[in-house]
Structure 1
Amino acid sequence: MRTIKLFAGAFAGAATLALVPVATAQENSPACTRPAQVLDLRNWKITLPVDDPDQPGAQPLEVQQPQLKRYGLDPWFVPTAACDGVRFRSAVNGVTTPNSSYPRSELHEMTRGGTQPVSWSPTSGTHTMEIDQAITHLPNDKPHVVAGQIHDGQDDVTVFRLEGEKLYVTNGDDPNFALLDDHYVLGTRFQAKFEVSGGKIKAYYNGVHKVTLPATFDGAYFKAGAYTQANCAKSVPCDPGNFGQVIIHRLAVTHRPS
């Protein structure tokens, strides 16, 4: 596996950015300096909206374990000042994956200590992701951000998606399948949960079961973070100051056998 350089990184078309330094023992050092001190990232990797230094202009940067446990990238993936959450930020001019025109600062579920891809079935066992989070910033013009999703081998299956003030659960190509909140205020902390079993997906909002969706996919995994649904063609200005942002305070995934 390629080694990530922990103290170098560049945003597409922007100045070089410094990564968050590893914690030190200095007397006045903050309580946390990297996301893995706040969230359990053992079975995750992250995709960031910056160039992969080995493939500039072609791929976003992806960081896996064991590098991820000592990694952060300001301002895209850092702990909050209070060390009570992790900030995920993705600007409209960020580098995108080959299969999307939108940038992301987003965790991707893995297994075996974050070293191997995970793939689970909605008809075998029970699979749950709970996110305690707040959406804190939206891009201009197209103010849409995805803040948690189930993905299969081809595409997203269902996501928690904020469009302006309206927070939805999607169903495949239907972005407005179920309305969770018709007046979401940016910065409001909420709990989102997906529970998958028996060929069904149950979506919960603040502990309340809101909707059940059919689950006919396979090869599934969870994702969490800020997947900004805007780019330079749909939002101005086209610069790092125009972004989507999510703070995750707690993230938990469980897989129970049948």
Structure 2
Amino acid sequence: MKYLFILSVVLLVSASACKKEALTPEPPLIQRKYKLPEIDLSNWKVTLPISNSSGKPVEVEPPEILSYATNEQLLPFMYNDSTDAALVFYTYPESSTANSSYSRTELREQMVPGSNNTNWTFDQGGRMRGTLAVEDISSDGDGKPHRTIIMQIHGRLTNEQRDLIGEDDNNAPPILKIYWNDGKVRVKTKVLKDLNASDTEILHTAAWGDDEGRNFSTIVGHEKFTLEVVASAGRLEVTLNDDETFVYGDVHMQKWSVFENYFKAGNYLATTDDGAYATVKYYDLEVTHD
């Protein structure tokens, strides 16, 4: 009888526990919202910090770049953050282009997909607008964050100009570089060293020097910010967060009209330090031409 009583109690407790468990609702599943960035890459190619079989940086053009989310070569350097609706550009020092010692994961505008030969002049005009954030970046030996270039307007020689001055490629200086520099946005442009230089002399890269540079007053840190660049005849405007604008409309911009140009955007890390890296996120990016 004693054992039967104990068994009855155990069965009652078990039944009660099962009933309580059955009445207790399951906790709701956490609903995660995934959103992909809405950036059209149809008119962009990307340069990576790794080399191809010829020892040059790997480049991926349209239409292959459109499949970046499944491209094994691109995935370490250019990928989606679907929890943040961002396109991520990651880079570190390794392979660099012929005219630079720095590596990059950076987009280059192609007005005709797959070709570098069609570009635009300031007289024709162009506008680039993007929202981005420098999520993470390494520091130097003194603890100061490295710099990275996040937007550019790069000059280009026509084939005729290239042949005229005896160059072996179409490279011309970048008229605009926009840096993330220790939490600030810094703008650098080119200036003609000799205003009396001939139309042929100004085609040489050595004819152009750097201006002193300007910092926007807003400290962006690692938060989102928006940049807009507008180029027109003899004029360049750079605006941060639709609030503060730098305007360049002097003789140097007027002289620049001799060059073709293309936009660039991404992560161009301005250091060769061992162990350096940078992660830049783009939330939107748009280019238009009149």
Give the aligned partner of residue 122 of structure 1: 122
Partner of 2:260: 219
Which residue of the partner structure matches residue 201 of structure 1? 236
The 5-angstrom pairing of residues 238-249 of structure 1 reads 238-239=274-275, 242-249=276-283
Question: Partner of 2:65: helix, strand, or coil?
Answer: helix
Aligned counterpart for 2:60 among listed residues 60, 63, 66: 63
**Equivalent position to 1:163, from 149, 170, 181:** 181
In structure 2, give the amino acid aligned to 1:219: E
Q: How does 1:1-258 map to 2 (within 5 A)?
A: 38-52=38-52, 54-55=53-54, 58-71=55-68, 72=71, 73-82=74-83, 84-92=85-93, 94-124=94-124, 126-141=125-140, 143-153=146-156, 154-172=172-190, 173-174=209-210, 176-181=212-217, 183-186=219-222, 188-214=223-249, 215=253, 216-217=255-256, 218-231=259-272, 235=273, 238-239=274-275, 242-256=276-290
> Quick check: 163-172 or 103-112, which moved more?
163-172
* Contact map agreement 2:269 2:277 (CA 8 A) in 1: yes
Distance in 2, Cα, partners of 1:143 & 1:83: 24
Query: Does the CA-based 8 Å contact 1:202-1:209 persist in structure 2?
Result: no
Identity of aligned residues (%): 24
Normalised TM-score (structure 2):
0.67
**Partner residue in 1 for 2:14:** none
Unaligned runs of 5+ in 2: 1-32, 157-171, 191-208
> Do the aligned partners of 1:160 and 1:169 also contact (CA within 8 Å) in 2?
yes
Of residues 150-159 and 112-121 in structure 1, the stretch that sits farther from structure 2 once superposed is 112-121
Give the CA deviation at 1:177: 1.8
Q: Which has the larger radius of gyration?
A: 2
How far apart are the structure 2 equivalents of 1:151 and 1:38?
A: 25
- Structure 1 residue 118, shift from structure 2 partner: 3.2
Cα distance in 1 between the residues matched to 2:58 and 2:217: 33
- Hey, what does 1:10 align to over in structure 2? none
CA contact under 8 A between 1:138 and 1:245: conserved in structure 2?
A: yes
Aligned residue type for 2:285: L
What are the Cα deviations for residues 113-158 of structure 1, in whole angstroms up to 9, with x where unaligned? 344433211123x310001111112232161111001110212111
> What CA deviation, in whole Å up to 9, does each residue of 1:15-66 have, x standing for no partner?
xxxxxxxxxxxxxxx967xx8x6410000100010111x32xx211000111
Q: 2 CA distance for matches of 1:193 and 1:150? A: 12
- The structure with the largest strand share of the pair is 1
CA deviation vs aligned residue, 1:80-99 (integer Å, no higher than 9, x gap):
1326111111112x211111
The DSSP-based 3-state class of the residue aligned with 1:155 is strand
TM-score, structure 1 length as denominator?
A: 0.75
- Is the helix fraction higher in 1 or 2? 2
Q: How many residues align?
A: 211
2:277 maps to amino acid: F
Which segments of 5 or more consecutive residues in structure 1 lack a partner in the other structure? 1-29
Separation of aligned partners in 2, 1:251 and 1:103 = 21
What letter corresponds to residue 216 of structure 2 in structure 1?
L
Amino acid at match of 1:85: A
